[in-house]
Homo-oligomer: A and B are copies of this chain.
Amino acid sequence: MTSKGGKYTTIHYQNYLQIDEILSAQKLRSEELGTPAHEEMLFVIVHQVYELWFKQIIHELESVIVFFQDKEVIESSLSVAIGRLKRVEKILKLLVEQIRIMETMTPLDFLDFRNYLFPASGFQSFQFRVIECLLGLPEAQRMTYFGQKFSSVFDENQQAYLDGIYATGTLLSEVNEWLERTPFLELDGFDFLSEYKAALKNMLAKETAAIDNSSYLSDKEKEMRKQMVGSTDTYFDAILNPETHQKLMQEGKKQLSYKATVAALFINLYREEPILQLPFQFVTCLIDIDNQLTNWRYRHAQMVLRMIGNKIGTGGSSGHDYLSKTTSKHQIYSDFHGISSLLIPRSELPDLPSGIRQQLNFHFNIQ
């Protein structure tokens, strides 16, 4: 049905895109075994499409990591990096949509060929693990798999490749270093952290007083309202107290260093200063990617539940249960989500000294 690629003397859609190679790679087990199952084609193609998109995601992530390994992330790189991470996010969103197509296969249809696939499993997708490693999913945080390291299903070269990613630097570790280099936290006599602490205490005191003095709130409501406002003992402790942060890191509950966390907070609070706009966009991209990946895990687990109920998967995995757990445990950039708890309203924000403001602006005054 398809033409031999060799016939074309000039570049042609068919040979440029290697269509023949791509379209001859669907070997259906049910056909090999003499009991063709119509639905197996969908199963194969859905997974092949996933792998093609995984390759694209890896292409983008690797290129972004290289920018940050330069140690001098110039502004134009940051802009390109943002564009590429936004693309990754859009691809992940498409992969979530794609689950709806897999869901057109009913459980009964799947039974027509499910046994033939044993013991292959989606757990064996190497590229998916590469993506997790490139993003920086910490090994300690990973679910074990029948008591074994996640990478034990791969061959030695593949295992070495995965280890190599952690060794040369993940997106998370590179971003951490980049944040630590943020120059504005102590500049020209301005000390961001102590200004922030003062503003925070002032804000909490004002709000608490307002609640206490309120005449229309019941005591119970006052209590709740105060919880909502928070106190320096709860969310704020880790940012006010480097030791607390250090402890949480040791327990594997935080990944970003203290210094990087403070920088991320600074970027969030002063995001409208010209020089901080792109860094803020970049940090937002990381959260978006994390959300989409988590969303995909969630929908994937939901689909597996629908497909095989609580049965054990083709790879012997506990199927839905395992996948469900990775949804929350394999979140990578939760430290960036955590920044939300630390924000204070713009009205309470310490003013930047005009010297600093100028530093954060463009050389050329546009107006």
Count residues of A near B (Cβ-Cβ below 8 Å). 141
How many monomers of this protein are in the complex? 4
The reply to whether A83 and B55 form a contact with Cβ atoms under 8 Å apart is no
- Distance (whole angstroms) from the CB of A268 to the closest CB of chain B: 7
Q: Which of A293-352 contact B (CB under 8 A)?
A: 294-295, 298-299, 302, 305-314, 316, 324, 328, 337-347
In the complex, the answer to whether B216 meets A9 with C-beta atoms within 8 Å is: yes
Instruction: Knowing A94-B98, A111-B346, A275-B364, say if A309 contacts B339 (CB, 8 Å).
Output: yes
The 8 A CB mask of A133-160 against B (1 = contact, 0 = none) is: 0000000000000000000001101100
Of the 9-residue stretches A222-230, A243-251, A254-262, which lies at the interface with chain B? A222-230
Specify the chain B residue showing the minimal Cβ separation from A225: B118
- Verify B364–A183 contact, CB threshold 8 A: yes
Q: Are B306 and A207 in contact (CB under 8 A)?
A: no
Residue in B closest to A328 when the chains form the complex, CB atoms = B324
- Point out the residues of chain B lying under 8 angstroms from A21, CB to CB: 21, 24-25
In the complex the two chains form, is B29's CB within 8 Å of A312's CB?
A: no
With a cutoff of 8 Å between Cβ atoms, the chain B residues found around residue A18 in the complex are 25-27, 48
Residues from chain B with a CB closer than 8 A to the CB of A277 are 75-76, 79, 278
- Whether A75 pairs with B366 at a CB distance below 8 angstroms is yes
Known: A45-B52, A302-B294. A359 touches B364 (CB 8 A): yes
A124 lies within 8 A of B13 (CB): yes
Q: Given A97-B94, A311-B235, A79–B45 Cβ distance below 8 Å? A: no
Q: Which of B76, B91, B306 contacts A337 (CB 8 A)?
A: B306
Query: What is the interface of chain A, defined by CB distance below 8 A to chain B?
Result: 1-3, 7, 9-14, 16-19, 21-27, 29, 35, 38, 41-42, 44-45, 47-49, 51-53, 55-56, 59, 63, 72-76, 79-80, 83, 86-87, 90-91, 94, 97-98, 100-101, 104, 106-108, 111-112, 115-127, 130, 154-155, 157-158, 161, 183, 207, 216-217, 221, 224-225, 227-228, 230, 235, 268-269, 271-275, 277-278, 284, 287, 291, 294-295, 298-299, 302, 305-314, 316, 324, 328, 337-347, 358-364, 366-367
